[in-house]
Structure formats: structure tokens, C-alpha cells
């Protein structure tokens, strides 16, 4: 079962899983797009309308998917949004909260709704986070806070589920060539952060490559899934990168990005 499965990384993971012989429940609030993907994939996939912000919606969708397929062996909590590009001082608080509701609370709701089914099958859960969990992201603080929250949620969950037979992984991804990544690169301070990194590090990777790592991680029931290859270094050296916040704060391109974000979003 994949949340946010109708497009982007979720859709490509669905395609690759079906190619590997899996049956896939595609959950998305955009049921029209999910249904088109199911039509492409055939009888091995089914679409379910679900809003990760609602525990009732997720509970109903998980139960329906488990009933249709006879259970849930693996769940990918993938649904996410970028949110507005604005400083903390200028952002619309409701828009900021929406990012947390989708990206963090949505993962929590997915876990709560899916856990009874995963316990029955001694299954596997993968929560999709981001390098946003470990680097700074000026003008997209909601997104970065949500991804840090997902990381902490997974760490807590692993301890709670120890001995249950359910394994829990987290996906750390750099820039992946999706609409979400392109949007964040062009209109937020994250673009300036990535531009400061060397060579290919700041360039998006194909969505197929990221999806392949997720599928391989599911097969191994991995604790950590990465893409591209340099991401583990970034995750493991996060303390050193935190020191770089002071340098980023005075870097001219970053200051320009912050000023632009304060102009484009007016605090209500």
C-alpha cells in the first residue's frame, strides 16, 4: 500500500512493484489520477481515495485495501507536499500547518491505520523522509520540520515495535526529478542551499532511480533507504553541516532568497 501513490515517486514505485509481481493498493486524495494509474497497471493494482490528514479516511482506506488483497505486507508512507516558500515571519500560519498535517501527521495517521494489518502479516513499513531532515531549508521551514519529525517518529516506532515482527524503515532522498522538487528548487531558499553543494549533488536524479531504491529497500526490509548515493554521507555528517548554518546565513544568494520570500508572502 502506497500513500500519495498517484504521481511522482509513489506512482513510479507502484509501477516497479507491479513489474516485480506485487499487488499494489494506491491511496491518494486525487482519485482520478490514481484511477488512471490503475488503468495503466491492470488488475494487480487498485485505487482508493484517502486523505492522510484524516485518521478516519486512512482507517477506512487501509481496511478496504486489506480486505481486497487479503492483507497488507508492506506500506510506504509517501504522501507529501512542499508548501509555501516564505520566511517564518512572513508565512501564512495556516499554510505552514497544512505542510505539517500532510507530511508528518499524515505519516502518523498512515502508521496508526496500517499497524493492525502489518502486525498480522509481520510486515514492513517505510516512511519517506528527505535530506530535509538533516540540512537547513530557509524559506521552507514547514517542509524541513515535517521531515525531521518523520525521522523522530520512525526512531520511536522502531523501539515500540521491537519483537513484534514489524520492521520499520526510513527513506532519505535528495533531489528527485518530480514536480515537488522542481517547485522547491525554483522558488525557495532550498535551491540556494543545493546550489552551494558540489557538482552532481545539487542536481535532481531520475524518479525511476529513487523508486528503484525504495523497491530494493522493501525487499531487504531495510532500516534506511537512500538516493542518490551521496545521501548517507550527508546524513552521517549532519553535525558538521549544522555548523554551516552560520555561513549560509551570511551568504549573498541565501540573503537574496530570504528577502524575496519575505516579499512574496505577506503575513495575514
Identify the pLDDT of residue 267: 46
Across the chain, which has 268 residues, the per-10-residue mean pLDDT values are 96 97 98 98 97 98 98 97 89 96 98 98 96 84 94 93 95 82 64 63 82 97 92 81 69 80 58
Tens-place pLDDT, residues 36-63 = 999 999 999 999 999 999 999 999 999 9
Residue ranges of domains in the chain, CATH in brackets: 2-264 (3.40.50.720)
Identify the pLDDT of residue 196: 63
pTM of the prediction? 0.86
Identify the pLDDT of residue 228: 87
* Residue pair 221/168 in contact by the 8 Å Cβ criterion: no
Identify the pLDDT of residue 259: 80
Identify the pLDDT of residue 48: 98
- Write out the catalytic residue numbers: 143
Amino acid at each position: 500500500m502506497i500513500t500519495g501513490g498517484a504521481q511522482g515517486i509513489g506512482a513510479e514505485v507502484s509501477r516497479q512493484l507491479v513489474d516485480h509481481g506485487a499487488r499494489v493498493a494506491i491511496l491518494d486524495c486525487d482519485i482520478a489520477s490514481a484511477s488512471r494509474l490503475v488503468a495503466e497497471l491492470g488488475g494487480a493494482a487498485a485505487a482508493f481515495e484517502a486523505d492522510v490528514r484524516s485518521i478516519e479516511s486512512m482507517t477506512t482506506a487501509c481496511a478496504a485495501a486489506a480486505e481486497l488483497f487479503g492483507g497488507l505486507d508492506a506500506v510506504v508512507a509517501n504522501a507529501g507536499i512542499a508548501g509555501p516558500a516564505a520566511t517564518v515571519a512572513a508565512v501564512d500560519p495556516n499554510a505552514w500547518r497544512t505542510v505539517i498535517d500532510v507530511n508528518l501527521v499524515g505519516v502518523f495517521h498512515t502508521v496508526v491505520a496500517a499497524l493492525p494489518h502489518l502486525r498480522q502479516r509481520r510486515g514492513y513499513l517505510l516512511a519517506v523522509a528527505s535530506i530535509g531532515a538533516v540540512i537547513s531549508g530557509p524559506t521552507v521551514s514547514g517542509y524541513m520540520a515535517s521531515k525531521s519529525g518523520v525521522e523522530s517518529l520512525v526512531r520511536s516506532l522502531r523501539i515500540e515495535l521491537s519483537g513484534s515482527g514489524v520492521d520499520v524503515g526510513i527513506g532519505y532522498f535528495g533531489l528527485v526529478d518530480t514536480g515537488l522538487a522542481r517547485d522547491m528548487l525554483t522558488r525557495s531558499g532550498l535551491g540556494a542551499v543545493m546550489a552551494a553543494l558540489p557538482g552532481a549533488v545539487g542536481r535532481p536524479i531520475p524518479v525511476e532511480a529513487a523508486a528503484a531504491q525504495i523497491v530494493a529497500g522493501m525487499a531487504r526490509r531495510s532500516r534506511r533507504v537512500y538516493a542518490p548515493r551521496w545521501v548517507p554521507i550527508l546524513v552521517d555528517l549532519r553535525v558538521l553541516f549544522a555548523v554551516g548554518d552560520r555561513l549560509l546565513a551570511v551568504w549573498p544568494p541565501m540573503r537574496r532568497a530570504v528577502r524575496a520570500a519575505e516579499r512574496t508572502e505577506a503575513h495575514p
